[in-house]
Structure 1
């Protein structure tokens, strides 16, 4: 009889230990770590309507001489994603074009490059590039037309 009691005590102790570990692990996943889990978003995805907008910041920006527009490099820590936006300041979108590009500094024409070319608008943005390496340096360029004149940001802004 003592022999069965000993085995029962061992099984009970193991059961309590494994259940305790399970409770702490699932509690951490459901209540703690899920707030920091990266949303599912891929390079080429549209950032609008995603979790990425919850913490988006301007990582870099520039206004070319004359101030016709502003080029912004936008970054979301939550998504670890970057996209670029051009917003006209001259309200001359009708009949004119905006271009904006975001790319990896090390591979400006690579497969992760995102580009937008819009007509008759006052702002345009690219799709995202998700960083898989925290050392990735990401950059943007942009331009607007005003009639036949094109105003460009030739030197990329980077983060």
Structure 2
């Protein structure tokens, strides 16, 4: 890869940024990195070629996860590209603190495991805090709907739904000498699971975290969800909807510490 690749290009101080300009900047970054094929990019990032193609097209704003993986592959500056991407996301302008506030969250309990029933009351304070920081409400929440979601809702941000209201910590383990907590959250109302990883090592600046959740019996399932972000203390994944109470969901996380990837295994399952 060409280490002299441009950083955040396609804008100027007197020009309003656009999704099209953002995509043009990504294309420039790709060219500076040797213009790898979509197939090569997909193989190295795990992102589908169709998603990569849309990111380069300027027809839609790519997710943070997609942007960070592409920028990392092309040796761009992930912090600057993440900031530019989030400035284009209209959700980030909803409420004071925006998406950063919703994702940063607050520290959880140190208990390793909470049963879903016994933990509900304890999580009330957490749910309230997340509600205050959330970016807005989804249609179901606006209508006060506490329905069981369907498979079509896989991948939805739990903080934009009513699922957060009854969320409990279904599984929690401390890793890296208690400096990082890996957790699986569960909503009984939504029959949904999502992962959360929180670090207490005071090394968030410039370091990424990744969390992935998947069905135990199908690790490569299309329902699997993951998220990568940089500079955060706490990060959560999109939801997996699982109406089968006998099914199990697992999660695993990694973090960057001073440029080195730390695997937070083994997997955590409920």
Could you say whether these structures have the same fold, taking a TM-score greater than 0.5 normalized by the shorter chain as the test? yes
CA root-mean-square deviation: 1.9
Alignment of 1:61-80 (within 5 A): 61-80=172-191
Confirm or deny: 8 A CA contact 2:252 2:264 kept in the other structure.
yes
Structure 1 alignment gaps of length 5 or more: 1-33
Confirm or deny: 8 A CA contact 2:171 2:268 kept in the other structure.
yes
Alignment partners' CA distance in 2, 1:50 and 1:134: 21
Confirm or deny: 8 A CA contact 1:64 1:152 kept in the other structure.
no
Confirm or deny: 8 A CA contact 1:98 1:119 kept in the other structure.
yes
Instruction: Select the structure of larger CA radius of gyration.
Output: 1
Candidates 238, 254, 261, aligned match of 1:127: 238
Structure 2 alignment gaps of length 5 or more: 1-143
Alignment partners' CA distance in 1, 2:239 and 2:156: 6
Measured against aligned partners, the alpha-carbon deviations of 1:53-103 in whole angstroms (never above 9, x if no partner) come to 111000001111322211110000000000001111112111101010010
Shift of 1:132: 2.9
Residue 144 in 1 paired to residue 252 in 2?
A: no
Confirm or deny: 8 A CA contact 1:69 1:144 kept in the other structure.
no
Candidates 138, 154, 171, aligned match of 1:60: 171
Shift of 1:36: 6.2
Candidates 225, 232, 235, aligned match of 1:114: 225
More RCO (CA 8 Å, sep 6+): 1
Q: 1:121 to 1:65 in 2, by over 3 A?
A: closer
Runs of at least 4 residues of structure 1 off by over 6 A? none
Alignment partners' CA distance in 2, 1:67 and 1:87: 11
Question: In the alignment, what sits opposite 1:98?
Answer: 209
Residue 38 in 1 paired to residue 148 in 2?
A: yes
Confirm or deny: 8 A CA contact 1:141 1:154 kept in the other structure.
yes
Question: In the alignment, what sits opposite 1:22?
Answer: none
State the TM-score, normalized to the length of structure 1.
0.73
State the TM-score, normalized to the length of structure 2.
0.44
Confirm or deny: 8 A CA contact 2:255 2:264 kept in the other structure.
no
Alignment partners' CA distance in 1, 2:212 and 2:154: 14
Confirm or deny: 8 A CA contact 1:39 1:51 kept in the other structure.
no
SS for the counterpart of 1:48 is: helix
